[in-house]
Structure 1
Amino acid sequence: MGLLEENRRRQRQRFVEPQAAVVGGKRSLGAEIWRHRWIYVLILPTIAYFIVFAYLPLVGLQIAFKDFQVFRGMWESPWVGFEHFQTVFSSEKFPQLIRNTVVISLYRLVFGFPVPVLFALLLNEVRHLMFKRGVQTVTYFPHFLSWVIFAGIVINILGPSGIVNTLIMGAGGDRVNFLTNPDTFQAVVVGTGILKEFGWAAIIYLAALSSIDPQLYEAARVDGARKLRQIWHVTLPGLRPVMAVLLVLSLGTILDAGFDQIFQLQNGAVLEVGDIIDTYVYRIGLLEAQYEVATAVGLFKGIVGLVLIVTANYILRRLGQRSIW
């Protein structure tokens, strides 16, 4: 009898007592939190990460509105209003920085955004499983290399004494300075960036392709649609929501042309076309200790990115596409 009573007590705790927390047909917030407590415990490290590294640093944005003095500290430094923003916007170099950053980012968006989609479509048609896995592994492996390593590989290939120039000179041609020529530097930046990341970006599209209902392809084949028609009428509409979300996220980083890559490949000969906002912030913020100006530029970038994301997301919602929120 003791064991029977214990089982009844446990069942009462599991089914009867939680029902007592239901008020007006809905479970109370405290009961719901307690019910899913282990899920909250699992996401707690992620929440802590964003609080420490994403939200607490926002306090430092006040430096952009102060005459920051190191020995007096951030809180005791005097306020100067928008003086540093006026300094940045009135600088003769600022339009060039904006132009270089936007041009490189737009090139990446126009030429780089379709590449993972096309690669995923081609790889999805491969039926030999081992070959498919091998190609996918080789293409997304560069993503795990830092730009310090990958830039060294690029220099060994495209540098003055690199593989490409060795072949050109062996064929009787003249040496081409890909990395020191302003006419070719942006193309090298965009091309190497696409080469490094397209395999990793294709993983998302491959996952989306696996979720498309196979019966749609069967119906298309019954209607007489060949492979290209199936891709156009079934595959691409299935990828459209994912492409829309990734496009919105890409627009949010339009003023982030890739500091790591350009910092490694940049040199004095290509500053006219290769100097972007992030490299400028690095020079004036860390090398010249103008922390206020660097913070003002960073805040400007964040505001522009926020406006672009909100605007693009609003347009997608009006068009009936899947959006971020």
Structure 2
Amino acid sequence: MSKRKARLKREAPFYIMLAPGMILTLIFSYIPMFGLVMAFQNFNPGKGFLGSDFVGLQNFKFILNQPNIWRVTQNTLFIACSKMVLGILVPLLLALLINELAGTRLKKIVQTSFFLPYFLSWAIIASVIFQVFSLNGPINSLLEMVGADKVSFFTDNAAFPWLIIFSDTWKGMGMNIVIYLAAITNIDQSQYEAAVVDGANRLQQVRYITFPSILPIVILTITLALGCVLNAGFDQIYLLYNPLVYESADILDTFVFRLGIGQKLYSPAAALGFIKSLITCGLTGISYYLAYRFAGYKIF
């Protein structure tokens, strides 16, 4: 038996394990890409992809001439970038604080409490947010107790984006906390022992040992997040927003959804989705290059 056949026989179980995931990826990720042809057609569901007329770049011109497109893009960038910044800084700070807790059991309890929201769907989280931030909810009751005016979080264009940003940070910070704590546990403890001998206090140990040691992981999470800068969270915003806050919370994904599903403008919606995908693809490539350049991370 040749070496190639022997290797194939040895690795066959692993290929069998990969097969279901590869098949699902092919069906739901690659085959639907053929639908991008709609972006260059006046798509008619009755005629299908092969029967619809090609119109070249007219759909792209139509999208770029929409009066709301630049406001929607601005909303997307603001919400996505704010989520990215807080989604890195808040878990980093909490991971450093959790690491300083004295008891191992207390650390596990606190870490688990932060990680639990990550497992809940936005459908559940949205219902909780509606109850907590409603006009008669506990947040507005607390504001009244301290003498402040009530805030209509779901109709105020100034408050609603921050509600989206902070709720997303709260829900997703558990995963990054785990990543940063894992990086902290890999730090050589002899460095801390030497720092104690030199008279360094806890804050100085964090500043000169802990943070520099996990900095490559922080850089990696930042660079990998760049590829998602145009993904401001469709499921979260779609469940929480309403027409009164379109001005500040309407993003590219919700705009595409309303065009394609709501107004039946399939081709313009596909054109906008195609533009977004191209930009995202470019940003993902840049993020992987930066991850390799500054953190030594290689995907291939």
Q: Could you state the TM-score of these two structures normalised by the residue count of structure 1?
A: 0.85
CA distance in 2, matches of 1:300, 1:222: 58
For 1:91, the equivalent position in structure 2 comes to 66
For the Cα contact (< 8 Å) 2:160–2:245, is it kept in 1? yes
Calculate the aligned-residue CA RMSD, in Å.
2.0
Q: How does 1:279-298 map to 2 (within 5 A)?
A: 279-298=254-273
Q: How does 1:114-263 map to 2 (within 5 A)?
A: 114-263=89-238
Q: Deviations over 1:282-320 (max 9, x none)?
A: 111111111111111111111111111222333444446
The yes-or-no answer on 1:113 pairing with 2:88 is yes
Contact kept? 1:151, 1:264, Cα under 8 Å? yes
CA distance in 1, matches of 2:102, 2:28: 44
Q: Secondary structure of the residue that 2:42 maps to in structure 1? A: coil
Q: Structure 2: any 5+ residue segments left out of the alignment?
A: none
Structure with the larger RCO, 1 or 2 (CA within 8 Å, 6+ apart): 2
Percent identity over the alignment is 34
* Secondary structure of the structure 2 residue equivalent to 1:81: coil
* Deviation at residue 277 of structure 1 after TM alignment: 0.7
Alpha-carbon distance in structure 1 between the residues aligned to 2:79 and 2:103: 37
Give how far 1:122 is off.
1.7
Which whole-Å CA distance do the structure 2 matches of 1:259 and 1:76 have between them? 32
Larger radius of gyration: 1
Give 1:134 deviation, angstroms: 1.6
- SS at 1:113 equivalent: helix
Q: How many Å separate the matches in 2 of 1:217 and 1:299?
A: 51
1:69, distance to aligned residue in structure 2 (A): 1.0
Deviations 1:164-195 (A, max 9, x none): 21233345443221221111111111111111
Supply the distance in 2 between the matched residues of 1:106 and 1:77 (Cα, whole angstroms): 38
2:285 to 287, 306, 310: 310
Q: Is 1:322 matched up with 2:289?
A: no
Matched-pair contact (CA < 8 Å) for 2:38–2:49:
yes
Contact 1:88 1:94 in 2 (8 A): yes
Q: Secondary structure at 2:54's aligned position in 1?
A: coil
Closer/same/farther in 2, CA of residues 296 and 206 from structure 1, 3 Å limit: same
Q: TM-score, normalised by structure 2?
A: 0.92
Return closer, same or farther for 1:233/1:48 CA change in 2, 3 Å cut-off.
Answer: farther
Query: Which residue number in structure 2 is paired with residue 6 of structure 1?
Result: none
In structure 2, relative to structure 1, the CA distance for the partners of 1:41 and 1:242 (3 Å cut) is farther
Written as runs of structure 1 = structure 2, the 5 A alignment for 1:60-75 is: 60-75=35-50
Instruction: Tell me the SS of whatever aligns to 1:179.
Output: coil
SS of aligned partner of 1:195: helix
What is the CA-CA distance between 1:276 and the residue it aligns to? 0.7
| 1:70, distance to aligned residue in structure 2 (A) | 0.8
Q: Distance in 2 between matches of 1:171 and 1:123?
A: 30
Deviations 1:27-73 (A, max 9, x none): 43x43222222222222222222212211111111111111111111
Structure 2 Cα separation of the partners of residues 232 and 170 of structure 1: 39
Alpha-carbon offset, residue 227 of structure 1: 2.5
| Structure 1 unpaired stretches of 5+ | 1-16, 22-26
What does the per-residue CA deviation read over 1:249-288, in whole Å, with 9 as the maximum and x for residues that have no partner?
A: 2111111111111112212221111111111111111111
Q: What is the distance in 1 between the residues matched to 2:141 and 2:75?
A: 30
- 2:144–2:150 Cα contact (<8 Å) kept: yes
Matching residue of 2:10:
35
Residue 272 of structure 1 aligns to which amino acid in structure 2?
E
| Larger displacement relative to structure 2 (248-257 or 235-244) | 235-244
**1:80 paired residue number:** 55
